[in-house]
Amino acid sequence: MNHVLIGISGGIAAYKVCEVVSSLAKRGIEVRVIMTRSAAEFVTPLTFATLSRQPAYTDSDFWQPTNGRPLHIELAEWADVFLLAPVTANTLAKLAYGMADNLLTNTVLASTCPILFAPAMNTTMWLQPTVQENWGKLLKDARYTAIAPTDGILACDAVGTGRMAEPEIILEYLESFLFTKGKQDLKGKKILVNAGGTREFIDPVRFIGNPSTGKQGIAIAQAAIHRGAQVTLINTANSPLPMGERLGVRIVRTSAEMHQAMLEEFPNADITIAAAAVGDVRSKSTSDRKLPKSELPLNLELEYIPDIVADLAPHKRPDQILVGFAAQTGTEEEVVTAAKDKLKRKGLDAIAANAVNSSQTGFGTDTNQATFIDKNGNNLSTPLSSKLEIAHRLFDFLMQNFP
């Protein structure tokens, strides 16, 4: 069973951690909570004890031994991942300088597991030079990974940076870290990903499209960020993606826009993963006004859409990795055979083959299953997993075979 230790400082954002604790416990992950004295002024220890099905520890428990050992040592050794949320300006300063004056900070110093930390404070406080200095100092420590604060309306009615990341973002980071053990093997890498289904317009309101939601491509972008990469995402879904300053997003709709964006971004990428469901055909003519039903052509004249990854491959440098996706129907053998053909025909380094004729692995699902194949004949079939886990398994495959 995975163990997540959560340290909560005294800020109003402590209420958001209730959802994190509850969600983890419902997933069968064992959770334990440490609260500072001021944190208990915002949410009671009883609340977190009830949600976690475990005691919530405070400074009053500090010198109560567990199994005959100091509590902070026992908790530190128990944890697989340590989440600190919210991190106040006061706790941030203590962490930056290695201070240990309460149960939470003593446990941090006694631990060796990866640490995720999510600051939350008033915008003016966040922008203070001393706070930014402490923030930068902590980011240089390899054990710490930040879940950066976001912009918005704060509890004090100020508008600006300082909101703690939302629970769903924190949960995604935790899922990644429980799988990767916090490794940052993509740090310094630039990753280019495309996601979603393109739309080929007949007129301003009608188009030829497909059911792709972009979930797998977005999960690949998330996994790359969680592993330390700088990511550019070319996305057809204009959905919020608060992943911090290491993500750049370009929104496109058509295959032509996707093609242009990929050509522009490709030279800067170390790894390019083409996960988007780009259309194969489009209408030869497009109206700039909505056509009356009586004017719609019953026999639509189509043309083939240029293949994006096949166009990128000839421009690939030896140090670049180009990965495609093959969404296929049929048996596992048929899906893999078709993927191998695409791998060779399009000049790819690797390809991910997945069946879309299953209720658990089709478009729009939260889970997926894939077979990864590279140009040297290496292959790996994954179990049915979340799309975020599939993304991590893909990066593990690439890092192993293209070191």
For residue 326, the number of C-alpha atoms closer than 13 Å in the C-beta half-sphere is 27
Confidence (pLDDT) at 239: 63
State how far Cα 314 lies from the chain centre.
Answer: 30
Percent of the chain clearing pLDDT 70 (strictly above): 98
190-401 CATH choice from 3.30.450.40, 3.40.50.300, 3.60.15.10, 3.40.50.10300: 3.40.50.10300
Q: What is the mean pLDDT of the segment spanning 375-402?
A: 97
Q: Is the pLDDT of residue 241 over 70?
A: no
Catalytic residue among 156, 159, 263, 281: 156
Q: What is the 3-state secondary structure (H, E, C) of 323-388?
A: EEEEEECCCHHHHHHHHHHHHHHCCCCEEEEEECCCCCCCCCCCEECCEEEECCCCEEECCCEEHH
Q: What is the pLDDT of residues 322-345, one digit of tens each?
A: 999 999 999 989 999 999 999 999
Q: Bridge-partner residues for 197, per DSSP?
A: 277
Q: How confident is the model at residue 240 (pLDDT cuts 50, 70, 90)?
A: low
Q: Is the pLDDT of residue 111 over 60?
A: yes
Give 244 or 256, the one with higher predicted confidence: 256
- The segment(s) of the chain belonging to CATH 3.40.50.1950 are 3-180
Q: How confident is the model at residue 315 (pLDDT cuts 50, 70, 90)?
A: very high
- 156: annotated active-site residue: yes
- The segment(s) of the chain belonging to CATH 3.40.50.10300 are 190-401
pTM: 0.93
Q: Is the pLDDT of residue 387 over 60?
A: yes
Residue 395 CB burial class (10 angstroms; 0-12, 13-18, ≥19):
buried
Question: What is the fold of 3-180?
Answer: Rossmann fold (3.40.50)
